[in-house]
Copies of this chain bind each other. A is one copy, B any other.
């Protein structure tokens, strides 16, 4: 199992939109997340700062991420979520962070 931590920044005027989208997330988006072997996926927000945590329990992360990117429903979802992000030093979108500590 691999753990991922990712940071991102929202446009200040898109914070409410991003919260609302995730409060009403589409079932087929969740099904695709599960199908791509992602588990225990949480997104936290403080102001415009986002942090995502998830665990990957498959054996082909790049392949599963491509499968997700090829899914038409996920593409529709991203059409709505990606405009919420601010281009910034952290990155255009969710950017992997380095795990420096773990304790079970």
- Contacts from A to B (Cβ < 8 Å): 3, 5, 7, 18-19, 22-23, 25, 30, 33-34, 38-47, 49, 51, 53, 89-90, 95-104
Give 3 nearest A-B pairs by CB, closest first. A5-B44, A44-B97, A43-B101
Q: In the complex, what residues of B have CB within 8 A of residue A39's CB?
A: 104
8 contacts between A and B (CB under 8 A): A5-B42, A5-B53, A7-B46, A41-B103, A42-B53, A42-B101, A43-B100, A46-B98
> Chain B: which residue is nearest A51 at the CB level?
B51
Bound complex: CA A3 to CA B43 (Å): 11
How many copies of this chain does the complex contain? 2
A46 & B102 in contact (Cβ 8 Å cutoff): no
Bound complex: CA A43 to CA B101 (Å): 5
A49 & B7 in contact (Cβ 8 Å cutoff): yes
B97 & A46 in contact (Cβ 8 Å cutoff): yes
